[in-house]
Amino acid sequence: MKALLPIAGNGTRMYPLGVTTPKSLITILNKPLVMWTLEALARNGITEVILVVSAGVFGQKIREYFSAHPVTGMTIHFAVQEQQLGTAHVVQMAKDFFTDGEEFIFMYGDDLYGPENIGQVLQHSGLAVTGMKVSDPEKWGIFQANEKGNLQNVVEKPKEFVSDLANIGCMKLDTRVFSLFDEIKISPRGEYELTDTLQLLAQKTEIKVFATKDYWIPIGYPWHILEATEKFLPLIENKIEGTVEENVHITGKVILPKSSTIKAGTYIEGNILIGENTTIGPNAHIRSNCTVGDNCIVGFGVELKNSVIGNNTRLPHLSYVGDSIFDC
């Protein structure tokens, strides 16, 4: 089965991080968002993916990334969305990659999905969508199911309680969504909404509604990167291959590649993932969960706490960086 991932958006809510970098290439634990999704798909046996990209510079940057970083065992196709007219419209851009009646996995390419959520809809014999239980349904698009557990309605930010299952954008669809596009109208916010297509499709066939079995982390704003880092960094395996000078104290987990160095006197009391050709210290202090990218310098006397430092960043001597994201 193929998967369809739309990554054509501008990611304006991520600004200033998304000004020069496509949102799908913004990194968590030094790995682009879209790669997290592709790896989760691969763990479920998906080997063919269609990425819908924009027609502009961002689309070109994504193509260049995958040209330089091919995904082993996976075929990547690209479809282009010339105009950004909504989630239903972006699905239309990929219709030529599917044969009539074919089922496929649909996911947003810039959120983080646990593999078990994908496996749940993949293993279902028919069409399916996944929702996560939330305590504030009035802030989400909510799935309303009938007594058989099949999709009945999608209610956007309901003012009265209808359900607590929020649409996370992980679903199994079929090619009927392409023909139904002509039946939906532009929403009040000026876009063609996939949720409108889902409601029409639910009138024609059963769509099972599942609750999440694994994590889902929506990445909408910069601080979500810090939240995801805090969740995943403690799960890393300690791997020190680079140079650690004398009098370095380490109590947390560290990933240090061969090309990088932790200089003398540095004190690490939290987990840290360090990129290639990067130097930490001397006499730096690393607290709680931090990631540092490639070609970086975290200089003399720098204190780093709960932060994400992007590639090619220089933090000069005697600086304090806390609860922050730096991306050059």
Find the catalytic residue in 77, 224, 285, 317: 317
CA atoms of 25 and 94, how far apart (whole Å):
21
* CA–CA gap between residue 253 and residue 269 (Å, rounded): 9
264: phi > 0 → left, psi -120 to 50 → alpha, else beta; which?
beta
- Measured between its terminal Cα atoms, the distance across the chain in Å is 38
SS3 14: helix
Q: Is 195 helix (H, G, I), strand (E, B) or coil?
A: helix
Residue with tokens 């309605």: 153
What DSSP string runs through 21-90? Answer: S-GGG-EETTEEHHHHHHHHHHTTT--EEEEEEESSHHHHHHHHHHHHS--TT-EEEEEEESS---HHHH
Dihedral pair phi/psi, residue 134, rounded to 5°: -130, 155
* Catalytic (active site) residue 69: no
Q: Which residues are catalytic?
A: 317
